[in-house]
Amino acid sequence: MPQIRFHFAGQVTLVQAEKGQKILKIALDNGIPMEHACGGNGFCTTCMCTVQEGMEHLSHRNDREENMGITSDPWRLGCQTSVVGDGDIVIEVGE
């Protein structure tokens, strides 16, 4: 099972991730405060995070991300990005 290491406010939290789950859901389910002003629908950028390692284990960028101006690595929207691989991922969550 893939693991995600979330970095937030100087703390590191290591969690198990199921394939197919969105980064936002994984963060919230594990007590990591990831903003999501639009309710996780991809209409804002408050859940934008930085993928420090493991981009290859995440879904490809979708049209909604690109429409919101998220067009290059390492930035992704947590509500639009799913775990698709088995490897470990490191994500920095904005404050």
Number of domains into which the chain is organized = 1
Instruction: Judge if the upstream peptide bond of residue 74 is cis by omega within 30 degrees of 0.
Output: yes
* Sign of the torsion formed by the C-alpha atoms of 84, 66, 50 and 77: negative
Entry pTM:
0.95
Distance in angstroms (rounded) separating the CA atoms of residues 10 and 49 = 15
CATH code, domain carrying 86: 3.10.20.30
Beta-carbon-side half-sphere exposure of residue 46 (alpha carbons within 13 Å): 11
Within-domain flag for 5: yes
Domain that holds residue 9: 1-19+28-55+76-95
Query: Is residue 86 domain-resident?
Result: yes
Q: Rounded CA gap, 22 and 1, in Å?
A: 15
pLDDT at 12 over 90: yes
What local confidence, expressed as pLDDT, does residue 94 receive?
85
Each residue's pLDDT tens digit, 23-41: 999 999 999 999 999 999 9
